[in-house]
Structure 1
Amino acid sequence: MDRSSYKLYHKHDELHDSRAMLETYFSENPDMPFKNLLILTLEKMHNVFSMGHITGKILIDISGGPLIHYLYSACEFFQEIILMRTNEQCIMEIMKWHDDRTGAFSWGHTTAHVTDLEGRSDECEDKEMKLKSAITHVVKFDTESESLTDLIGVPQADCVITFLLLDLVCKDQEDYMRNLRKILTLLKPGGHLIIFGSLNTSYYTVGEHRFHVFTCNENFVKEALVAEGLTVLQCEVSPMKSESHLTDYDGFLLITACKQK
């Protein structure tokens, strides 16, 4: 398929079915082809936070999709979590889960895995409640806005997580740098940035539509962070070539970095 025909996550949000995304890539269905990726994410984030050096009062999660599973480990180390999303449908899906509404997507399979990693497998319900209590705001932002902090009036954070967002909204390297700089305005000097992204990916599928993904590798991401004055603390590449026609990733990347100024 011609890449020019791919939809853009933040431009064609009316075509991006948030529930279909969850059911396709993040469900507990035993036949779900991305189960290993889901587990990998939970384990990587558990490892990052269990080291104990990324902590503070405020964490901002500026990510793609109606996703929250990677925050179960983070909620043990931050008092307040602010979620930022570009898509109104994603926000509605998150709020259904947060407010325990009928028909909300169940993240119980991920809660169970995280509490097992923490050696507290009997505390799934407590973990769920702790994350929901920590999430104080879920706000919409526009990727075209010049200043994310001015737009919604959020304070700078001790930690910023961006999960797949840069992959989904960036068209090219220049666009990546522009969006990275805006994300960094959300982070305090001395604060930590955590990036989780795909490698050498060009598309993913939701429903009948293929959506664009910015194609990059770990060297580009590391060099981008260094160019913006960050110190890269950790860079882990997990080769996991997709075996599904729904997407074409070669692997996934986890990077933690510290903002120097």
Structure 2
Amino acid sequence: MDSGSHKIYHEHGFDSRKHLESYFSNKPDMVFRDDILMFPLENLAKVFTEGPINGDVLIDLSAGSFVHHLYSACEFFQHIIVLRVSDRCIMELKRWLDSRTGAFDWGHVTKLHGEIQGNSDQFQDKEGKVRSAIPHVMKCDLEKENMTDPIDLPPADCIISVWLLDAICKDQDDYRRYLRKFSRMLKPGGHIILAGALDTTYYTVGKDKLHAFPYDEDFARKALAGEGFVIDKCKVQKRTVVSDLMDYKAMIFIAAHKEK
């Protein structure tokens, strides 16, 4: 299958439960612990505790149904508004938010977060805090001028986007265009946090191979600067695992703020 025939996340969707089980589970054969779990958890913990990223509203525009990237954020924002493009991902998220039978078990990741924060004895409270911080999980249309039309969201203090740009962008112009749309959702001086995988062309969910946009650190930096962002933190971690589920070369984490 050539890259042109790969499915595209926001156009074709994927099996959200298989995605969680393949990349975020506690199964013995889950090899992505350091790259996909620990790397964002550690960097998010640092960027929030070191500040000054906080406020009333954080908008989460990420791919899939994972929640671990919000563990640190819930301590620094009163409201987290979660936007997703896929009905399946929304259903999976709501199953966890409502503590329903069959929801994905994030206990192993919650414990990891507690160990990073140095309060592992309190890790059981974390999931409750994340749930209480999320008033809405909403469907969005990335191509609309107002992604949540007919609802107008308040300007956000921060947007966090994990692996979404990798999954939806077809080229460099797309990446810049979506960054511009994200920027319009932020208050002047607001922050953006991006996490992604560098030089990726595909990722696999079940039997499906999905498109990923290949880019490098230099491009990400220039794209953010071109849209009026000042980078406060950028970390890159070379790939640590062997797996044919994804062909990435490294993970990237960027925190930046919008110039007033």
Report the TM-score, using the length of structure 2 for normalisation. 0.96
Deviation at 1:143, TM superposition (A): 1.6
> Which residue does 1:159 correspond to in 2?
158
Distance 1:69 1:92 in 2: 17
1:4-60 deviation per Cα after TM superposition (whole angstroms, max 9, x unaligned): 1110001112xx100000000000112201111212221111111111311111111
**Alignment length (residue pairs):** 259
4+ residue segments displaced more than 6 Å? none
Structure 2, gaps ≥5 residues long? none
In 2, Cα distance between the equivalents of 1:241 and 1:145?
38
SS at match of 1:216: coil
Quick check: 2:61–2:84 contact (8 Å CA) kept in 1?
yes
* Residue 137 of structure 1 pairs with residue 136 of structure 2: yes
Aligned counterparts of 1:168 and 1:241: Cα–Cα separation in 2: 21
Helix, strand or coil at the partner of 1:233: strand
Q: Does 1:32 align with 2:30?
A: yes
Determine if contact 1:148/1:186 at 8 Å carries over to the other structure.
no
Deviations along 1:163-188, one digit per CA (max 9) or x if unpaired, are 01111001001111111111111111
Aligned to 1:209: 208
Structure 1 residue 20 and structure 2 residue 18: aligned? yes
Which is further off, 168-177 or 37-46?
37-46
User: For residue 249 of structure 1, what is the aligned residue in structure 2?
Assistant: 248
Q: Which residue of 1 aligns with 2:170?
A: 171
State the AA in 1 paired with 2:220.
V
1:1-261 matches, within 5 Å, as 1-13=1-13, 16-37=14-35, 38-148=37-147, 150-240=149-239, 242-261=241-260
| One-letter amino acid matched to 1:24 | S
CA 1:208–1:117 in structure 2 vs 1: closer, same or farther (change >3 Å)? same
Q: Which has the higher contact order (CA 8 A, sep 6+)?
A: 2
State the 1:152 CA deviation. Answer: 3.1
- Residues 241 and 249 in structure 1, CA contact (< 8 A), matched pair in contact too: no
8 Å CA contact 1:200–1:217 kept in 2: the answer is yes
**Separation of aligned partners in 1, 2:101 and 2:216:** 40
Following superposition, the deviation at residue 76 of structure 1 comes to: 0.7
Percent of residue pairs identical: 50
Q: CA deviation at 1:151?
A: 4.4
Are the equivalent residues in 2 in contact too, given 1:189–1:259 (CA < 8 A)?
yes
Q: Secondary structure at the match of 1:248?
A: coil
